[in-house]
Amino acid sequence: MQVFRVKGVAPFGRQKQNFSKDVVASDSDDAVHRVLSIFGSKHRINRRQISIDSCEAIEPNTSKDPIVINHFREQIAVAGPAVVEEE
């Protein structure tokens, strides 16, 4: 399992907004599927309304998502905290 950062645009309310979501997945297609599934269940957004711009593998210690941190907690503890670059 790897960590992927999926970025895109989705309608939240009346406006379209950019999003960035970190997920644990086996490959990039699985990561995109998980993000579409999460937004569909939490925000009632159809898959065709979500536009995915990029999906890239990242190091687990650069993520701030609690699910990612919990999944890789032993690996992060050994490697130590990483310096996170602000965008």
Q: Is the dihedral of CA 16, 20, 21, 24 positive or negative?
A: positive
What value does the mean pLDDT take over residues 2-28? 95
Task: Report the predicted TM-score, pTM, of the whole model to 2 decimal places.
Answer: 0.83
What tokens were used for 47?
A: 């898959």
List pLDDT tens digits, range 72-85.
Answer: 888 878 876 666 56
Contact assessment for residue 28 and residue 55, using Cβ atoms and an 8 Å cutoff: yes
Position 81 scores a pLDDT of: 63
> Tell me: domain 2-79, CATH 3.30.360.10, correct?
no
Q: Does 86 score more than 70 pLDDT?
A: no
Q: What pLDDT digit, counting tens, does each position of 40-67 carry?
A: 999 999 999 999 999 999 998 898 999 9
Mean pLDDT over each residue of the chain, to the nearest integer: 90
Segments making up each domain of the chain, as ranges: 2-79
Cα–Cα dist 87/78, whole Å: 26
